[in-house]
Structure 1
Amino acid sequence: MEYQFTIIVPLYNEEENLLRVEQELSKYLAKAPINTCVLFVNDGSTDNSLELVEQICTRNKDFKFISFEENRGLSAAIKAGFDHSTTPLTGYIDSDLQTDPEDFDLLLEQIGEYDLVTGVRTDRKDSFKKNLSSLIANNIRRSFTHDGMDDTGCPLKVIKTDYAKRIPMFKGLHRFLPAMILLQNGKIKQVPVRHYPRIAGKAKFHLMNRLVGPFIDCFAYLWMKRNYINYKVVRKNE
Structure 2
Amino acid sequence: MDYQFTIIVPLYNEEENLLRVEKELGNYLQKAPVRSCVLFVNDGSTDNSLQLVEEISARNKDFKFISFQENRGLSAAIKAGFDYAETPLIGYIDSDLQTDPEDFDLLLEHIGEYDLVTGLRANRKDSFKKNMSSLIANGIRRSFTHDGMDDTGCPLKVIKADYAKRIPMFKGLHRFLPAMILLQKGKIKQVPVRHYPRIAGKAKFHLLNRLVGPFVDCFAYLWMKSNYINYTVNRKNE
- When the two structures are superposed, what TM-score results if normalisation uses the length of structure 2? 0.99
Q: Report the equivalent of 2:47.
A: 47
Q: Report the equivalent of 2:13.
A: 13
1:233: how far off?
A: 1.6
Q: Report the equivalent of 1:160.
A: 160
1:38: how far off?
A: 0.3
Q: Report the equivalent of 1:193.
A: 193
**1:31-86 deviation line (CA, Å, top 9, x unaligned):** 00000000000000000000000000000000000000000000000000000011
- Distance in 2 separating the partners of 1:96 and 1:189: 24
Per the alignment, in what secondary structure is the counterpart of residue 236 of structure 1?
Answer: coil
- Distance in 1 separating the partners of 2:232 and 2:21: 39
- Distance in 2 separating the partners of 1:136 and 1:21: 30
Q: Counterpart of 1:93 in structure 2: which amino acid?
A: I
- Distance in 1 separating the partners of 2:230 and 2:113: 20
- Distance in 2 separating the partners of 1:222 and 1:22: 39
- Distance in 2 separating the partners of 1:42 and 1:178: 24
- Distance in 1 separating the partners of 2:236 and 2:86: 24
Q: Report the equivalent of 1:177.
A: 177
1:223-234 alignment, distance < 5 Å: 223-234=223-234
Per the alignment, in what secondary structure is the counterpart of residue 38 of structure 2?
Answer: strand
Per the alignment, in what secondary structure is the counterpart of residue 232 of structure 2?
Answer: coil
- Distance in 1 separating the partners of 2:5 and 2:234: 27
Question: How many residues get paired?
Answer: 238
- Distance in 2 separating the partners of 1:116 and 1:234: 24
**1:146-174 deviation line (CA, Å, top 9, x unaligned):** 00000000000000000000000000000
For structure 2, the 5+ residue unaligned runs are none
1:176: how far off?
A: 0.1
1:66-215 alignment, distance < 5 Å: 66-215=66-215
Per the alignment, in what secondary structure is the counterpart of residue 175 of structure 2?
Answer: helix
**1:93-122 deviation line (CA, Å, top 9, x unaligned):** 000000000000000000000000000000
- When the two structures are superposed, what TM-score results if normalisation uses the length of structure 1? 0.99
For structure 1, the 5+ residue unaligned runs are none
Q: Report the equivalent of 2:221.
A: 221
**1:105-146 deviation line (CA, Å, top 9, x unaligned):** 000000000000000000000000000000000000000000
User: Displaced runs of 4+ in structure 1, greater than 3 A?
Assistant: none
1:237: how far off?
A: 2.7
Q: Counterpart of 1:227 in structure 2: which amino acid?
A: N
1:235: how far off?
A: 2.2
Q: Counterpart of 1:202 in structure 2: which amino acid?
A: K
- Distance in 2 separating the partners of 1:237 and 1:223: 35
